[in-house]
Structure 1
Amino acid sequence: MSCVSDLVTGEAVELDLRHARLASRGLAFAIDVLLQFLALVVLYAIVFTGADVDTSLQLTIVFVIAVFVLVGYPVTAESLTRGRTVGKLALGLRVVRDDGGPVRFRHALVRGLAGFFVDFWALGLGGFVAVIVSLFSRTGKRVGDFLAGTVVINVRSPQPQVGEIAMPPQLAEWATQLDLSRVPDGLALAIRQYLGRFHTLAPESRAILGARLVTEVTDYTGTPCPPGVPPWAYLSAIVAERRNREAAKVWMSTAAVPHHDVQPPQRPTTPGSPGDAPFTPPS
């Protein structure tokens, strides 16, 4: 299964992401199944050791625990980590929405239920259904992905190179006030790709996708785009500020060792609002 996937957003704008190969997905699944098997063994041992229950009750307990582990584990993991289980983390995979954005609980729940009843267990013949459906899908989707509107990507694959995104000077001080801790990596990646392809997008698509990304970022930061600031400038400030903070963390982690020739990144110290100077689009 293949390589580069042009994920299409709701506004029909393609984002270059690399979808996961069937082999890597299978190995990630095997790791998760091993963990689930161990969890089942432990839970069954705890419940049935020394217990005196009739056969019908035993069957009920077995089924409930199996559903709890086989559905609850992937749903919980993908919800809390925005699309990753232990197996996916080990293989460098992540579940994202069809538009490249991060998955939420409802996506994970649909994938988990479909995985249990259709793709893998109840009717899936141990994963046979998932494999067959994936082979006929250009992006390697299984039934759960089609129902949830998701796709699995390889986040370790080399991505198209995008030049360093500069901080708009008018937004430098304003950006220091933002809470970026909740902005997921998947959304930041989509923003970088949007800015990297800014001049190759049709004007209408550029405006629609930019507005959509701004709305999604605002949901995480709680700070709307300032009046008069174009979407691309707001998004550039978000990406540049994330980069600046990561650089500052790296510098702080080495601060215990004297480095006389290294200075911390220069940061604005006074909060402010964007000025009235004109913005120059990304080059």
Structure 2
Amino acid sequence: MKKIKIITPENIEVEYTLADVASRTGAAVIDTAIQCIFYIILLIAAALIKYFSIEFWMEYHGWIIGILIIISMLISYGYFIYMELNMNGQTFGKKVLKLRTIRRNGQPLTLKHSLIRNLFRIFIDTFGVGIVLMFFSKDRRRLGDFAASTIVIADKNKDCPITLENLEKTNENFSYYISKEENELVREYLGRKNDMDDCSELREELKLHFTKKFDELGILDEWKEFINSL
């Protein structure tokens, strides 16, 4: 399995296993099958309208067909965007095959990144361009991934890298557990630690501070991975 190392905005190096072409294709097949179910439902709905209300169909068939086309486009484009934003970079197909899409710097997808990568999916990569590029790209990226600066990784029960951005997004009590001053201090430390001659003392002070604080709050086990990443 091909590995990739990325440096997060907080200068944390994380190693991931890149998703191979076979698993990405398999995930795409599953997602396409799910989309086809929705398309079939639309066709059945149109057939029922035409069968049980022929006069209504004759009078408004142009509108009905137009609405069905718009809904089909939303299914084709919106399915992946909705799934990726609500399942932390996964679709149903990716979840089954334990894959996840993240940004090239290790952070979670945003709406902008999902919009870009999936726009290329439906207009270009669907026609086989994506698979060809994955074979020749060292990061196994299709054109949409290049445009959106994203990669697809083998999840292997590993979450996104422990960063303040990820924690703030996934932990609803983040602002309660991490004060504004602590947030700024940790960001400053992570941004400069690689340039410091010796940051071991500061690192230990931060670890001790957060260990004591989270232990008193009774959430130490939940935040141990964050403390170890300092």
**TM-score, with normalisation over the residues of structure 1?**
0.57
Summarize the alignment of residues 214-253 of structure 1 with structure 2, pairs less than 5 Å apart. 214=164, 217-218=167-168, 221-222=174-175, 223=178, 224-226=180-182, 233=206, 237=210, 244-245=221-222
Give the 3 Å change call, closer, same or farther, for CA 55–105 of structure 1 in structure 2: same
d(CA) in 2 for partners of 1:22, 1:218 = 32
Corresponding residue number in structure 1 for 2:149: 149
Q: Contact 2:3–2:17 (CA<8 Å) still a contact in 1?
A: yes
Count of aligned pairs between the two proteins: 193
Q: Contact 2:108–2:166 (CA<8 Å) still a contact in 1?
A: no
Alignment root-mean-square deviation, CA? 3.6
Instruction: Report how far residue 6 of structure 1 moved.
Output: 1.7
Summarize the alignment of residues 92-171 of structure 1 with structure 2, pairs less than 5 Å apart. 92-120=98-126, 124=127, 128-156=128-156
How far does the alpha carbon of each residue in 1:109-163 deviate from its partner, in whole angstroms, 9 at most, with x for none? Answer: 222222111111xxx2xxx111011112111111111111111000117x7xxxx
The answer to which structure, 1 or 2, has the higher relative contact order (CA under 8 A, 6+ apart) is: 2
Structure 2 residue 24 is the aligned partner of structure 1 residue 25: yes
Q: Which runs of 5+ in 2 are unaligned?
A: 51-56, 191-202
d(CA) in 2 for partners of 1:153, 1:244 = 26
d(CA) in 1 for partners of 2:148, 2:207 = 30
Q: Contact 2:107–2:165 (CA<8 Å) still a contact in 1?
A: no
d(CA) in 1 for partners of 2:25, 2:76 = 16
Summarize the alignment of residues 29-44 of structure 1 with structure 2, pairs less than 5 Å apart. 29-44=28-43
Q: Contact 1:214–1:234 (CA<8 Å) still a contact in 2?
A: no
Give the 3 Å change call, closer, same or farther, for CA 63–87 of structure 1 in structure 2: same
Corresponding residue number in structure 2 for 1:90: 96
d(CA) in 2 for partners of 1:56, 1:93 = 41
How far does the alpha carbon of each residue in 1:197-253 deviate from its partner, in whole angstroms, 9 at most, with x for none? Answer: xxxxxxxxxxxxxxxx44664565123353877555369949998771499xxxxxx
**TM-score, with normalisation over the residues of structure 2?**
0.69
Q: Secondary structure at the match of 2:124?
A: helix
